[in-house]
Structure 1
């Protein structure tokens, strides 16, 4: 295993946060799986492509990429051993022989030079300790003219998710932190372009994409799931019982506005980012 410089994220993803995602991979895929196809189409994976999935988590996107690159090789890398265990189990069940998973920090992982045609990610690139160094390392692993395609969170303002978290804001802090840090660190496409450009990519494009996200079968179910998500759970515990109960009531109230007869659904937004490495 390579060294890890992003120690704070490694601790979180090998503790409660990673364990929660690993236990509920089907639920997180119901939230984020609608972004799989836009990423895969943008990645332009060929039958013989060698593919790297950065921050692969439980590996749904990785497995889909492996099916497209049937004569190539696909590697998923992530900090979280609990999620990688789930990813390996899912790949084994689907009998995907061209797929492997590695634990490591993509910022410093010793990828072989020029070893992949495509790098992709579904919300796995927003937490690097040094984003420029991380993307430069990924660029080094790509062959000349190699392609990267990923989705990252937009700013929360004006989105359904922003409405949900905004309802709880009088009682607990926003779970994403201010833009520039945390999950929304790439919320500004100008920052994305600057980071990728400095890291050695060219032809950078950021396109806003939307998809339906399913949070639970009912308001109660969706509310319990969101309240157990790591950052929300942390803030609820820190807030004290009275504020936490008010936040949960506000969460239930706002989720009711997104409820349908069979599920609670929001409209998810993301930046779909594509770029290529230089030919020389």
Structure 2
């Protein structure tokens, strides 16, 4: 589905992509998704929260504001993103946040410590997802909640198919291993989480457009900040790469609604509980 007036209206006013130079601004791209995610997370005032794949920390900071007498730990592999996350948290006076550069699949978290684990599009990249979620589960108290936002299949996400198609005719990478669509299949995800010790696994459909910039020119620059598309262009000869850039500009122009460049997308909010009875409040 091509972005249209309905998508533009639902997106209300677009946000500028104003992240750190060189970093793609996922917070602007995912603003509408984030509203669903924040509502599903339902962070309580005393919660101890673990945020997996926290990036530049928007979800971490929002959790910290809600957990006024609790605390939040944000975990990510990217040092530049964590640097920006720490700076933003300091600027906003949030003192109940800790950021750690770590691999959540193997990091030794304090056992049975957290009341809630959240992840906004940061939980699909584990080489061994069962081992990863087993490790994460050990960090959660019995009955603690897990709330994930993950992409549905590539064929349900126009941003993934249309942009890639404008740059290359090569087939898309398989979705069976680590990657943005590794948790797209509810049956597969349910099996992973169940084997890792979670129960009451549920899925809620999220259908919102993603935002790439206020106009096609800005969107072009933003898209080429993404490693996948940088790598695609880097593998082409000069003439072919320029043709690909021309097609990309046309694709982005076709999705310019007049109030921003939007692509259709579908995601799941996945919820589950750590096995065992909840602790008394």
TM category, shorter: 0.7 to 0.9
The answer to whether the Cα contact below 8 Å between 2:23 and 2:225 also exists between their aligned partners in 1 is: no
When the two chains are superposed, the root-mean-square deviation of aligned CA atoms in Å is 1.8
Residue 251 of structure 1 is matched in structure 2 by 248
Change (3 A) 1:40 1:217: closer
The answer as to whether partners of 1:159 and 1:268 remain within 8 angstroms in 2 is yes
Deviations 1:82-112 (A, max 9, x none): 1110000000001001111011111111111
C-alpha spacing 1:24/1:36, structure 2 compared with 1 (3 Å): farther
Runs (4+) of structure 1 exceeding 3 A deviation are 21-26, 169-174
The answer to whether the Cα contact below 8 Å between 1:146 and 1:276 also exists between their aligned partners in 2 is: yes
Task: Give distance in 2, aligned partners of 1:170 and 1:103.
Answer: 34
> Structure 1, unaligned stretches of length 5 or more?
1-20
Change (3 A) 1:163 1:154: same
Q: Is the 8 A contact 2:24 2:226 kept in 1?
A: no
- TM (normalized to structure 2)? 0.86
Residue deviations 1:124-146 (CA, integer Å, cap 9, x gap): 11111211011011111111100
User: Displacement, 1:172?
Assistant: 5.2
Which SS does the other structure have where 2:135 is aligned? helix
Q: Give aligned pairs, total.
A: 258
Q: Which moved more, 1:165-174 or 1:24-33?
A: 165-174
Higher relative contact order (CA 8 A, sep 6+): 2
Give 1:60-139 correspondences, 5 Å limit: 60-139=58-137
Structure 2 residues without counterparts, runs of 5 or longer: 1-18
The whole-number CA distance in structure 2 between the counterparts of 1:78 and 1:41 is 22
Change (3 A) 1:28 1:236: same
1:191-270 matched pairs, under 5 angstroms: 191-270=188-267
State the alpha-carbon separation in 2 of the partners of residues 91 and 25 from structure 1. Answer: 17
Change (3 A) 1:132 1:69: same
TM-score relative to the length of structure 1: 0.86
TM-superposed CA distance for 1:23, in Å, is 3.3
Take 2:48 and 2:97, find their aligned partners in 1: how far apart are those partners?
Answer: 10
The structure in which a higher percent of residues are helix is 1
Q: Deviations 1:17-36 (Å, cap 9, x if unpaired)? A: xxxx8536673211123222
**Do the aligned residues in 1 keep the contact of 2:48 with 2:72 (CA within 8 Å)?**
yes
